Amino acid sequence: MIRLSIFFVLLPFLSPAQSDILILKKNGAHVRSYTVGMELTMETVYHQWLTGMITNLRNDSLFLDGAPFHYKEIAAISYDRTSLNYAADGTILMAAGVGVFVLGAVNGMVRKDPANLWYTTTGYITGSALLVGGWLLRRAGNKKYYMGHKYTLDYLSLKAPPKIRPGKPSGEEGRDLRDQ
């Protein structure tokens, strides 16, 4: 029992500290956050789309599969929704919509009806709703956040600032105004 309690007392000292966080905001409100070990698909300001794992966040930079990027170099972030199979479900709905129109035409030809009577109002509505719903579902599978007016990226550093030792000048603190 004593060994177990010593283990839990020493565990915070043996485990690595939390890394920095990259926060995506929409009009100042939190949308998503990214940290080490997460997948990221981004477009740089150089118009390159890159996908990879965030391997490190350090000094206002993120390392995507080891390649460093300053967080201000990110022009857009793409987020793939994975809860549903949007592409396959949308394609099935669109195929069903086309099937409704084909079925109406085939039934009209078999019954030898004039072409203006092949489709009813419900056939038009059902087929069109399935086609449009499938197209919308396919488009909803991928969300892109473009940085600029509405979306912003913030870098949250969780590391403690360096300690300033008394008596040693560090940067601007040690200078006298007369030295300028």
Encode pLDDT of 36-47 as tens digits: 888 989 999 999
Which structure tokens are listed for 33? 């956050």
- Comparing C-alpha atoms, which of 74, 27, 24, 28 is closest to residue 50? 74
Band the pLDDT of 97: cuts 50, 70, 90.
very high
Q: What angle do CA 112, 113, 117 make, to 5 degrees?
A: 155
Min mean pLDDT across 7-11, 41-45, 49-53, 78-82 is at: 7-11
Given a cut of 80, is residue 10 above it in pLDDT? no
Q: What is the pLDDT of residue 29?
A: 93
**Which residue bears the tokens 């930079």?**
61
Which amino acid type is present at position 22? L
DSSP 174: T
Is the pTM for the entire model greater than 0.85?
no
Q: What is the pLDDT of residue 12?
A: 64
Given a cut of 60, is residue 104 above it in pLDDT? yes
Distance CA(38)–CA(52), nearest Å, equals: 8
Which structure tokens are listed for 28? 């100042």
**Which residue bears the tokens 């698909």?**
41
Given a cut of 70, is residue 178 above it in pLDDT? no
Which structure tokens are listed for 62? 């993120």
**What values do phi and psi take at 37, rounded to 5?**
95, 0
Band the pLDDT of 106: cuts 50, 70, 90.
confident
Q: Report, as an integer, the average pLDDT of 61-66.
A: 89
Q: What is the pLDDT of residue 49?
A: 92
Q: Report, as an integer, the average pLDDT of 79-103.
A: 84
